[in-house]
Structures are given as structure tokens and as C-alpha cells.
Structure 1
Amino acid sequence: MKLLSLRGWKAVELEAQPAVEVVPEAEPAAWPEGVVIRFVTVGGAHVDVTGPEYSDQTSWYCHGCKDKSQYPYAGYLSSTRSKANDHASACRALPKPEVSR
């Protein structure tokens, strides 16, 4: 199938791209105990936010690059969530593959 596009004032033929099929996981894996929020990094690793939801003792940890909150308890969930999300949106570290024996 060909599509027409007007670039400037000249018609140009474009090739249609095939549709991408999204296949959901059979069953999502359970989160580790204590994780209240999980983000996926650009590289596909996880950033986990842990701690009691209504306290100032939450923190985050990246399973890709191993970066973490600056302090053992980074602060309230709203602040920690924002920092973890910012990290996940920029981190390109790949998750470490599972070693089978």
C-alpha cells in the first residue's frame, strides 16, 4: 500500500509501515516484597521504590546501573517517586541476565 504526502507543494509516495503487534506477558512477575512502585528504564531494567507509603523513609534502587537514593531513606514517597522516575527515563543500563546452571 502506498500513501501520498504533500511536502512543500510536491506529492511524494511513501511506503506504509507494517503494524506492530504488542503481545502481553502470559502472567506478570510478582514484585519483590516491600516494593511500592516500579519503573522500567530506557534499557529495560527496573527501578524499585521501597518503604512505607506514608512516611519519610522511602528510597529507590536501579537494578540496571546499581544507582540508588543519595541517603538510605530519601524522603517522602512523592519526592522519591519523582527522582526514581527521572532516573528511569534517562538510564540506559541493561538488566543483568539470569545465569542458568
Structure 2
Amino acid sequence: MTTNAWAPTWPEAVINRYLTVGGAHLDLSSHTFWTDYTYQGRHHIGHRRKVDGFLWRCHGCGQQGGVGFYREPYLPNERQKALDDSNEHASACRAMPKPGIN
């Protein structure tokens, strides 16, 4: 297995990094935020609490991934959805990397 000498160091919160079709990076990161949803998911409302969920961001087109109309961060139990959504975007995004960002 070879390593890529030009690959930048991953930021600490990054869980997965994808290479888009256009050559930019997409980072899936852990993300701490406040929510009213319970551990059971989005249909269950409880008291406001702090959770460690997920977000992804494409460094080519700038799109940020999330759930629903408002692109809310993924809940802790939505890790697989975050992985699937970020991989799907990376496989379709043709935006070139922005200079100095990747």
C-alpha cells in the first residue's frame, strides 16, 4: 500500500474523508449541538440536550449535509445515514477544489 505525500492532515473532528469526482475533499465530522430530539430519533421530542452528532461539508461546492429542509445535523443514531449521504454527494460532485482550502 502506498501513501499519498500531498494529502493534508485531517482535522481532529473528521471521521471520514472522501475525494469527490472533481478532486475536492468532503469531510464527515463529529459535531456537538443542541437538540430537542431524543435518542429514539427525530419523531420523539424531549427536553433540550447536547448531543454528539455528525455533519459533512464539501470543500469543492461548499454544500453542507444534514437532514430535512433546514439541513439539521445528523443525530448520534444517524451515523450510517451521514456516511451514506456524504459518500453519495462525493460520488456526484464535480466541483474543483478551491485554492488553499483542500
Shorter-chain TM range is 0.5 to 0.7
1:49-60 equivalent positions in 2, closer than 5 A: 49-51=28-30, 57-60=53-56
Q: 1:32 matched to which residue of 2?
A: 11
Q: Which has the higher contact order (CA 8 A, sep 6+)?
A: 2
Query: 1:63 aligned to 2:59?
Result: yes
- Aligned AA for 1:74? Y
For the pair shown, the structure with the greater C-alpha radius of gyration is 1
Q: 1:13 matched to which residue of 2?
A: none
Supply the RMSD in Å over aligned alpha carbons: 2.4
Number of matched pairs = 75
Q: 2:45 matched to which residue of 1?
A: none
Bigger strand fraction: 2
Matching residue within 81, 87, 91 for 1:79: 81
Matching residue within 18, 21, 24 for 1:45: 24
Q: Structure 1: 5+ residue runs without aligned partners?
A: 1-22
Q: Structure 2: 5+ residue runs without aligned partners?
A: 32-50
- Once superposed, which parts of structure 1, at least 4 consecutive aligned residues long, lie more than 3 Å away? none
Preserved contact between residue 35 and residue 50 of structure 1 (Cα < 8 Å): yes
Normalization by structure 1: what TM-score? 0.63
Give the Cα separation in 2 of the matches to 1:77 and 1:86.
14
